Amino acid sequence: MEKLLNDELNLKILKDICSGQGIDVNISELSKLLKKHRNTIRDRVNALFKNEIINRPTFPFNWLFSEYPLMVIARADLPRDNQTKKFIENDPHIFAAFFKKDEIYNTFLIEYHKDIDSHQRWRNALVKDGKLPPRETRYPSDVMYFSNKNFIKYNPGQMMQLIENDIGDHRGIINNYKLDKLSVQILKKLAHGEGIKTNEYFLAEKHGIHRKTIERRISKLLEEKIVLPPVCRFPRLLVPPDYTLVLSLVEIRKNPDQITNVWQADPHISIILPASTGRYTHLLFSSFYRVKEHLAWDENLDLRFPGCIGAIWNKYLSPSMMFSIAQQFLSLEIIELYLKPFES
């Protein structure tokens, strides 16, 4: 696998397909799948992109989690100035940032790192390089560590089902755009990689090689799970537009397999990780159109599995709190680092 990432051509192709170059929606395929005219499909697809309901298709960079196997969730006390905002936007370790007042903290960060040691060195360098003020002028961060290597569930595409399920709540209006039945059907197809094509001819011409070479290289990257098949995802990845992201630490006392099987099938939940923070056993990333719906969901889970659920810790991160979610940025930064030795 490492050999594939020490090949200049592989890396250039990887950079292209992870940024969406040479990847497009296959209007003809969607037209056949949904039995609608091509022009009708094209109009709906263009509207979904224009209104930022979903992003254009890319190959997800699955190697990100091998490169950065440590997830850090941090509550931080940071200045609200342009320098700090610029640091958050451009730092290759910050996956997501939310401006949320929580006790003595004002910022909620999700970070990716190689290990605890590199995380500590990164934090120290932020002050040394002047990106953040000295620690004595602010409260120390509160951090929790999780492993990106042990996903119990990782399925952002399943959340597309929420748009259809919650149609009675938002009346089909997402990001001020009115979705109809066909638009929702297209969303679900694109989220699961249907109706997406790779233009090997474009990539072959760009790199001056044969189309078959492009096909072989991409097939190998897929085979080794450096990338996953191309899909369309929400702009905020973990949460649909207008929805609230909920991070939950949950203590499962009994019947963990039964409970996680229910979570696997639940479109509200995009990510499940094992946890060993205090008494908690699982970390959940879930999405709900309204906070009250999550409260009802929590209550129903407790009723369904009496005596099985212990302590629960929830953080509600609304769309207005979000500053950035940048998984694609992190992925491309890693690829650029691998490409650097070839520049000389």
Residue 32 maps to a domain: no
Q: pLDDT tens-digit profile of 305-344?
A: 999 999 999 999 999 998 888 878 999 999 999 999 998 6
Q: Classify the phi-psi angles of 175: left when phi > 0, otherwise alpha if psi is within -120 to 50, otherwise beta.
A: left
Query: Of 131, 147, 163, which residue sits at a domain end?
Result: 147
Residue type, 183: S
Split at pLDDT 50, 70, 90, the class of 16 is very high
Cβ burial 286-302 (10 Å sphere, 16+ → b, else e): bbbbeeebbeebbeebe
Q: In the predicted model, what is the mean pLDDT of residues 120-131? A: 92
Residue 28 maps to a domain: no
pLDDT reading at 168 higher than 80 = no
Tell me, what DSSP letter sits at residue 239? S
Residue 173 maps to a domain: no
pLDDT reading at 6 higher than 70 = yes
Split at pLDDT 50, 70, 90, the class of 134 is confident
Q: How far apart are the first and last CA of the chain?
A: 23
Residue 76 maps to a domain: yes
pLDDT reading at 1 higher than 70 = no
Joined together, the tokens standing for residue 28 give 């003809």
Residue 40 maps to a domain: no
Query: Of 123, 147, 171, which residue sits at a domain end?
Result: 147
Q: In the predicted model, what is the mean pLDDT of residues 192-203? A: 97
| Contacts by residues 202-211 (CB-CB < 8 Å, ≥ 24 positions apart) | 202/21, 202/22, 203/13, 203/16, 203/17, 203/21, 203/22, 206/16, 206/21, 206/22, 207/9, 207/12, 207/13, 209/9
- Residue 107: give its domain's CATH number: 3.30.70.920
Give residue 138's pLDDT: 85
Q: pLDDT tens-digit profile of 266-305?
A: 999 999 999 999 999 999 999 999 999 999 999 999 999 9
pLDDT reading at 170 higher than 80 = no
Q: Could you give the CA distance from residue 56 to residue 196 in angstroms, rounded to a whole number?
A: 10
pLDDT reading at 136 higher than 80 = no
Joined together, the tokens standing for residue 194 give 């249907």
Residue 213 maps to a domain: no
Query: Of 98, 126, 147, which residue sits at a domain end?
Result: 147
Q: In the predicted model, what is the mean pLDDT of residues 1-5? A: 81
pLDDT reading at 171 higher than 90 = no
Number of domains in the chain: 2
Contact 207, 73 (CB under 8 A): no
Look up the domain containing 301 and give its range. Answer: 237-321
| pLDDT, averaged across the chain | 94
Q: pLDDT tens-digit profile of 288-298?
A: 999 999 999 99
pLDDT reading at 29 higher than 90 = yes
Q: In the predicted model, what is the mean pLDDT of residues 117-137? A: 89
Contact 330, 64 (CB under 8 A): yes
Contact 109, 317 (CB under 8 A): no
Residue 242 maps to a domain: yes
Split at pLDDT 50, 70, 90, the class of 172 is confident
pLDDT reading at 201 higher than 70 = yes
Residue 207 maps to a domain: no
